[in-house]
Structure 1
Amino acid sequence: MASVSASHLILFIASVLVAASVAGTITNTVGRLSEGVSEQGDALSQDVRTDVEVISDSGAQIYNRTGDENVTLLVKNTGSRILPANGDQLTVLLDGAFQSDIEVTVVDGENPDSWRPGDVVRVEFATPDLASGDHRVKVSINGDEEVFRFNV
């Protein structure tokens, strides 16, 4: 009878050890999953708070306005987040081609280095010899994308 109790005790201890190791692994995995979901939620919150609108008039002169073969757009921060007033986070595509030399200037704002909600910036980039016809500019910042069409 004692041998049955001893074998039951050994099996009980082994099952407790297996259950403890499985519980530890699951707890660790759930903790990492929770951290990942939290980080993704924070990133999504930043994207949701970012919103811009191209407010340039498509009928106005967008290209070569000052004679320097630049495309000039006015973009308003309509979100609730302060954005940097430089071209570092701003992506501009003209007819699908990436524009690398972008100049961003705050037009109506208190601080020339920050693009506050409600402020407008002037986005300029050089496009020498832009062909006449219809063109499309895509402006993207922090996941928010706006498309602007104009004619030269």
Structure 2
Amino acid sequence: MSSESISSLILFIAAMLVAAAVAGTLVTTVTDVSGSIDTHSDGVKEQIDTDFEIISDPGSDAVYDDSSETVSVLVKNTGSTTLASDGSDLDLLVNGEYVTDQVRPEILDDDATSWRRGVVAELEIEVENGLASGEEHRVTVTVNGQTETLEFYVPQS
């Protein structure tokens, strides 16, 4: 009789050890998943809160200046995130080519000191070797995963 109770006690202790090991593994895994979700959600929140619109008129002569070989793009911050006024979060493509020079947005609102919601900034992009006249061109602006594209036509000189 005592051998049955000892056997039951040993099986009970073994079952408790296995249950504790499984519970410990699950707690560690859940903690890791929770940390990953927290980290990823910060980036997603920033992406969701970022929004902007290119408000330049593509038919205007103000978009491309042939003499200085610059493209001027007006961008309005329509999201709830204040965008970096030094241009560090901007990625620019002109006709599919990445603009490697840092483009610093010029805030056009006299009362604004930062590129917050509702404020318009001008991006002046120097185009090496200019843009061909008589053709359509594209400028793509990306900020925090949000992308807008301006398509415009440079008339014949």
TM-score range normalised by the length of the shorter chain: over 0.9
Residue equivalent to 2:86: 86
CA distance in 1, matches of 2:7, 2:110: 80
Give the aligned residue type for 2:31. Answer: G
Letter paired with 1:125: I
Which residues of 2 match residues 23-102 of structure 1 at below 5 A?
23-61=23-61, 62-64=63-65, 67-101=67-101, 102=103
Of residues 122, 145, 156 in structure 2, which corresponds to 1:143? 145
Instruction: Write the deviation string for residues 101-151 of structure 1: whole angstroms up to 9, x where unpaired.
Output: 223111115344x20100000001111321120011110001110011001
Distance 1:3 1:21, change over 3 A: same
Q: Distance in 1 between matches of 2:151 and 2:95?
A: 10
Q: What number of residue pairs does the alignment pair up?
A: 150
CA-based RMSD: 1.4
Counterpart in the other structure of 1:119: 119
- Structure 2 segments unaligned to the other structure (5+ residues): none
Whole-angstrom distance in 2 between the partners of 1:40 and 1:89: 18
Find the aligned partners of 2:130 and 2:50 in 1 and give their Cα distance.
Answer: 33
- Cα distance between partner residues in 1 of 2:110 and 2:19: 62
Could you tell me which residue of structure 1 aligns to residue 136 of structure 2?
A: 134
**Structure 2 residue 17 is the aligned partner of structure 1 residue 17:** yes
- What is the CA–CA distance in structure 2 between the aligned matches of 1:60 and 1:91, rounded to whole Å? 23
The answer to whether the Cα contact below 8 Å between 2:112 and 2:119 also exists between their aligned partners in 1 is no
**Structure 1: runs of 5 or more not aligned:** none
Give deviations 1:68-105, integer Å, cap 9, x for gaps: 11111000001111111122110000111000222311
Relative to the length of structure 1, the TM-score reads 0.92
Helix, strand or coil at the partner of 1:84? coil
Query: Alpha-carbon deviation of 1:36?
Result: 1.5
**TM-score normalised by L of structure 2:** 0.90
1:35 is displaced (CA, Å) by 2.0
Q: Percent identity?
A: 43
* 1:34 Cα offset (Å): 1.5
